């Protein structure tokens, strides 16, 4: 009798929480066989060739490997989101910033980075295929496209990339930017109803960006500053910052600094928008990263930047590979190179973190600014560390 979904999940949860998870599967009482444990026979049977052309199998293998890695990325990503946001209430969790949980977040985000490096490297294998090799079986793909990868779109959504935050192509081939992404129907590379609903569900739920903003927002309140003290600190910092800039940048960047760090909080801010407090926390963590209690938070921010970077590199490699294989033709899903170029440039989840180097000062200048507030910072950090 087949297992019910609930029974299967309960069994999986029991296995994860029980001692058997630490046992080697090859030495258990069931004595599983390697091929059975990994279900290799099912794995190698996957993929229906549309032609008898040699390189179609390579094309299928690469994309199946991508989907397997996407599955693992989602497992790691979901675990990190659950550490930032309570899955039951949907509200931000208060993380001890000097705890093993923070180290675990760094580790799992780091694992996602390493997986993404593998995904980028797989493009090298695919590019051993020539354009003529690809054309031999391309017609067999019909309108099937990597654009239809449900798991990849869920990764983007769980990271915090929203439809509104995506690049919107104006190229006629792409049929209007956001509509191109949201359209339903497998004809011309759109999503089927089941996949579209699954992606919609993730897009409206809690995501990593929400969790990180809430974490940084709370973190800003742990520095021991009143709003008045914060204004004093950032006004002093702005003075040093302006002096450090070349004349051509001063007006523009000083204005941006004031808007990002000295302005009052917006009352109508959305949950996906960085608060002034979150920006302040991110900059302080970057500037004072050598404080023991700030090392793990700094590593979290670095890993988030790494993920954004490697996803952009992967898109860029995909763009170059597409141009190399099909030139200026549209893809099987109907997209153009214009769309891919825009996605590389604009589909970022944490642009605010990527912008932080714009506002950094050298160490001697930072020390000069924080000297009047050093006792507040050190006392607060010591309390956190020993608490």
320-347 pLDDT per residue, tens: 888 888 887 766 665 666 677 777 787 8
Domain of 152, in residue numbers: 59-219+267-355
293 assigned to some structural domain: yes
182 assigned to some structural domain: yes
46 assigned to some structural domain: no
Q: Determine the Cα–Cα distance for residues 249 and 196; give it in Å rounded to an integer.
A: 44
52 assigned to some structural domain: no
Q: What is the CATH number of the domain that holds 121?
A: 1.20.58.480
Q: Where does residue 148 rank: exposed (0-12), middle (13-18), buried (19+ CB within 10 A)?
A: middle
| Residues in contact with 375: Cβ distance below 8 Å, sequence separation at least 6, in sequence order | none
Q: How many domains is the chain built from?
A: 1
386 assigned to some structural domain: no
State residue 244's pLDDT score.
95
State residue 24's pLDDT score.
55
pLDDT along the chain (387 residues), means of 10: 45 39 56 91 90 94 96 98 93 85 96 98 95 89 80 94 75 49 58 87 91 92 81 94 95 94 78 87 93 91 97 91 81 64 82 96 94 77 45
Lookup: tokens for 146 = 């990597």
231-244 pLDDT per residue, tens: 999 999 999 999 99
The pTM score is 0.84
State residue 333's pLDDT score.
60
Beta bridge partners of 92: 85
The answer to whether 334 and 174 have CB atoms below 8 angstroms apart is yes
State residue 284's pLDDT score.
93
326 assigned to some structural domain: yes
């Amino acid at each position: 009798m087949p297992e019910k979904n609930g029974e299967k999940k309960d069994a999986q949860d029991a296995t994860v929480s029980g001692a058997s998870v630490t046992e080697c599967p090859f030495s258990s009482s069931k004595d599983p066989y390697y091929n059975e444990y990994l279900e290799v026979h099912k794995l190698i049977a996957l993929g229906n060739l549309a032609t008898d052309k040699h390189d179609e199998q390579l094309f299928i293998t690469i994309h199946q490997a991508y989907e397997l890695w996407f599955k693992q990325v989602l497992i790691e990503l979901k675990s990190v989101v659950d550490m930032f946001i309570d899955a039951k209430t949907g509200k931000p969790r208060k993380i001890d910033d000097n705890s093993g949980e923070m180290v675990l977040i760094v580790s799992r985000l780091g694992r996602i980075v390493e997986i993404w490096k593998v995904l980028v490297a797989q493009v090298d294998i695919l590019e051993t295929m020539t354009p003529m090799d690809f054309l031999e079986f391309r017609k067999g793909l019909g309108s099937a496209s990597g654009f239809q990868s449900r798991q990849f779109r869920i990764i983007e959504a769980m990271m915090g990339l929203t439809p509104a935050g995506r690049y919107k192509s104006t190229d006629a081939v792409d049929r209007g930017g956001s509509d191109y992404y949201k359209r339903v129907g497998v004809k011309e590379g759109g999503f089927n109803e089941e996949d579209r609903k699954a992606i919609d569900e993730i897009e409206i739920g809690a995501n990593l960006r929400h969790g990180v903003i809430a974490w940084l927002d709370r973190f800003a309140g742990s520095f021991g500053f009143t709003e008045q003290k914060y204004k004093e600190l950032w006004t002093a910092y702005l003075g040093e910052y302006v002096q450090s800039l070349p004349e051509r940048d001063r007006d523009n960047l000083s204005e941006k600094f004031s808007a990002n760090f000295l302005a009052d909080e917006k009352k109508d801010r959305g949950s996906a928008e960085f608060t002034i407090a979150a920006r302040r926390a991110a900059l302080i963590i970057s500037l004072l990263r050598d404080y023991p209690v700030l090392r793990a938070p700094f590593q979290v921010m670095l890993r988030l930047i790494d993920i954004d970077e490697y996803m952009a590199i992967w898109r860029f490699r995909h763009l170059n590979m597409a141009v190399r294989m099909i030139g200026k033709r549209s893809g099987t899903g109907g997209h153009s190179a214009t769309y891919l170029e825009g996605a590389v440039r604009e589909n970022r989840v944490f642009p605010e973190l990527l912008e932080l180097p714009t506002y950094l000062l050298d160490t001697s200048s930072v020390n000069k600014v924080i000297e009047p507030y050093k006792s507040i910072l050190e006392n607060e950090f010591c309390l956190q560390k020993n608490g």
